[in-house]
Structure 1
Amino acid sequence: MNHRVVITGIGIYSCLGENLEEVSKSLYAGKSGIVFDQVRKDFGFRSALTGMVQEPDLKPFLSRRQRLGMHQPAIYAYMSTKEAMEMARLDIDFLETTETGIIFGNDSTAASVVEAHDKAREKFDTTLIGSGAIFQNMNSTVNMNLSTIFKLKGINFTLSAACASGSHSIGMGYIMIRQGLQERVICGGAQEINIAAMCSFDGLGTFSVNETDPTKASRPFDRDRDGLVPSGGAATVILESYEAAVKRGATILAEVIGYGFSSNGDHISNPSMDGQVRSLNMALKQADIKVGEVDYINAHATSTPVGDSSEAKAIGEVFGGKVPVSSTKSMTGHECWMAGASEVVYSMLMMQQSFIAPNINFENPDDESAKINIIAKTKEQKIDCFLSNSFGFGGTNSTLIIRKV
């Protein structure tokens, strides 16, 4: 039996704001969350630009024991999940007596590993590292912490797929529910934002060095783009079967109708138009809709010369040049492991409020971006169906299609 899969809650903690209301206002205003970080420059980074995400104080919400095993990815994910669960009207008493799963996208816990290693080298005694370090260091840190805090009883694993992690987590939650294996899954993505997590990425030379005006640095699809800007935070999407949501009287926000995926099977970092096209076509086939039924595409476009051109070609080949396209990474920078989840949340906010957030800093198209319909300024438009792309290192591709109910 194929169950319908619906969204009943969303939450966000990002450089655009620490909750849905703040983020929605930033999206509509085309407000950038990119800043210059002197700490990175002093450390020797080639680029000191980043989407800045403050660490929240969890003391009002969690005990010291609960906080002990949490570092940035888990801390951010707690905030976004708390908001999503409040929207979905899910409380711990209900979760403790039902089978609710969690699949979160996360692909690094670099800072906590470095801190534990540094402490051991300083003290020459591993027992002084602290009992919480192991739970901070593991890549499954988000799932380990949230599943125990919220008393979750269902499927529980971390999905690691580079910059498509957050998107694939929603896709896997969708498959679990569609197949009847779970009634409800908390999905999302988390991304630490610190120098330990980003120094090797900076060393590749793929970050923008346009430090004169940080808000102008991330320029997806623009001819003058010179690289991406790293960012982070967390985003959460609550998925449920339609039957389970109706049974408990939940408000249904939208329905996941398509999930496409592919592997390029080629270069470890260079994109592949062929792989992207296969992911797009698979999502459309599974959703059983025509290309003209998609009202908006939130592009993966990270502001790299090769990556943006490849995606523009793929969108053009599958959709032609009419469907509105924008990359919210123009405002957020590249949120890496969380991006696939956060961009679903951003698009959900646009759907709810009938507007398309702008692809800011898009001033001069290149040969490929000139062929698709990139929205450079906020546009009032009803959105009944949107598509979100996520592509990652290693050639992993994910496409989600979500429709109003």
Structure 2
Amino acid sequence: MNNTIRIKLSVMMFLEFFIWGAWFVTLGTFLGNNLKASGAETAAVFSTQSWGAIIAPFIIGLIADRYFNAEKILGILHLAGAFLMYQMYQSQDVSLFYTYVLSYMVLYMPTLALVNSVAFNQMKDAEKEFANIRVWGTIGWILAGLAISFIFHWDTTEAIGQGLLKNTFLLAGIAALILGIFSFTLPQTPPKVSDEKVKITDILGLDALQLLKDKNFLIFFISSILICIPLAFYYQNAHPYLTAAGVENPTGKMAIGQISEALFLLLIPVFFGRYGFKKTILVGMLAWAIRYVLFAYGNGSDLSFMLIIGIALHGICYDFFFVSGQIYTNSKAGEKYKSAAQGLITLATYGIGMLIGFAVAGWITDNYKTVDGGTNWQMVWIIPAGIAFAVFLIFALFFDQKKEVKTTVTL
């Protein structure tokens, strides 16, 4: 890969995740303060991510993989996304806002696969080259959060009160417009030519359902769905909670989670080699429970360090469960079902699991309102901590590591 292409792919990844990080982190706070959304309404808005994840395979499988160049579809989707971001910026009604964000997520979620397709198409050795390109996506997400907190100061109490948090949508929209135009300069990524009839089971990864006959994989599959319930609490409630707790520059400080994610990714091969898959994934599950206990009993003043530690645990929570799970799924599936199995796990987690999780998080938030209109945040965090610990126990008791072939991991 020559340097020009490497730089273009790095810029593509940077903008792709800068866009997401620029508005999604602060979304819960914006909904509660600017649009006066209830917990259930907030849950519905966040659930658009799941609907986008469910619909995305159809766009990729039925359109991108068969008829049009990936970079051109990427450009069109982001240009349309820029328009929808501007509509979200102007929206003052939660119902209308929901329509815009749902439309946006249906367009955005497929781009996560498209940027990978464009990148992989230029690589001779993806195992060595992809990480160096993909890391710019993480950097983009981090810099979006730092910009909101330390350059624009849109997440201060005063700025939120003035309605300035809506500017995050304008920022994301500008980045989407730039990426939309830039995408047409990316290396050509033609569709996969195939005369075979497309099956819905292939698109959704349903052919991999036979893997559920393996008891260990079934336990992992169920645990993957259940662990997404506490995950949804973090996405939906972390920023509003940090804001309510009086934490300064909450968006920038939440970027610590992405920094942690990048660092702990490097430790996965070490844990796999020394402790095996079961212990690695159990550490990830337990980290969810610990972080929410820290959130429940920390505060924005003398115990603010507990909240920072909770944010920093994101790397263990995400990498040790989700990345380890993707590696485990890959090893169980074999060559025939590799893509189908990954699609099935994505559907189970970001589709089914997160839909349930956002609904539960919204219901809990609504049912633990205080008499003065605030939120009993301690209970809002104790409940997902209990759910995460329950999933930890289920996996610890029923997953039999002795039946697993040792998996070697290289990242």
TM-score, normalised on structure 2?
A: 0.29
Answer 1 or 2: which has greater helix percent: 2
Answer 1 or 2: which has greater strand percent: 1
TM-score, normalised on structure 1?
A: 0.29
